[in-house]
Amino acid sequence: MDLSSEKELRELLAFYAEAGVDAALSEEPSNRFAADETGTVAPIRQMDKPRPAAAPDEARPAPAFSAPRMAVAVPDEGQVALARERASKAATLDELRQHMAEFEGCNLKFTAKNLVFADGNPAAEVMFVGEAPGRDEDLEGLPFVGRSGQLLDRMLAAIGLDRQSVYIANVIPWRPPGNRTPTPQETEICRPFIERQVELVGPKVLVTLGGPSAKTLLNATEGVLRLRGSWKEHVTASGTSIPAMPTLHPAYLLRNPAHKKLAWRDFLEVKAKLRALRAGS
């Protein structure tokens, strides 16, 4: 690849950042295909040098002792039950956050830098829920602060809202490594926490951003392009029904700008619903 311009270099760095690459492993570039039998990786400038012949097995030194790795919890039914128990005990959002910070039953916690709990006003009339934090969110410990968050801010402003008048969270509070898609098991173990979070906030309107959020909170099976634009219901553990609008995730809109008009219609529906609820109260 000919990186002859500053623009191309910036685009390559942006690609690496989106892929989750945020640190160099060594100062010298390495040829990973030229590792010798001892596991040593040769720098690229030495890749053409012949490698020494392999020593017989009996002549090879014994491998050095390595300390056992820290056990990482893999989500299972027991951890899901524990998450439900911890979530149900939280009487306030602060208690819920504390329970989540202490919870060690989800493997994502061990690779994330921060717990991304929420942002905005806990007393807001409308709550937005996405899927999972990205790199910027993981670094700052707040949801929707990267490019997707900037687009969300503009969408909110278009209907007269901002971060002080809404509440924003994610189904998954820890960033998956490399921004990969959370597994169904990881989603299930985090489900009790976001469901309790919605219940404690008690918004008048819930907006799910993207398909995974809609499937988790609305028990939907259809894709978000079929779901969006029509009102659904989220029912809390206490039986409270909250009108919910599934819409497109800002990250999807950045990749498919032609669909911004669909999200705009959904946001107008949210604005009208809020106006109607205020008028009826």
State pLDDT tens for residues 136-155. Answer: 999 999 999 999 999 999 99
**Residue 192 pLDDT > 90:** yes
* pLDDT for the residue numbered 92: 98
3 state DSSP class of 171: coil
* pLDDT for the residue numbered 11: 65
Query: In this structure, are residues 133 and 170 in contact, taking their beta carbons and an 8 Å threshold?
Result: yes
CATH fold group of domain 77-280: Uracil-DNA Glycosylase, subunit E (3.40.470)
The mean pLDDT value for 206-212 works out to: 97
The mean pLDDT value for 62-82 works out to: 58
**Residue 51 pLDDT > 70:** no
For residue 150, count CB atoms less than 10 angstroms from its CB and return exposed for 0-12, middle for 13-18, buried for 19 or more: middle
**Residue 7 pLDDT > 80:** no
Residue 279: which of 168, 203, 207, 204 has the closest Cα?
204
* pLDDT for the residue numbered 266: 98
* pLDDT for the residue numbered 69: 40
What CA–CA distance (Å, rounded) separates 234 from 245?
10
Residue pLDDT, tens place only, 75-133: 568 899 999 999 999 999 999 999 999 999 999 999 999 999 999 999 999 999 999 99
Query: In this structure, are residues 83 and 96 in contact, taking their beta carbons and an 8 Å threshold?
Result: no
Which pLDDT band holds residue 280 (cuts at 50, 70, 90)? confident
> Two tokens at 206?
């819930």
> Two tokens at 158?
């278009």
**Residue 2 pLDDT > 70:** no
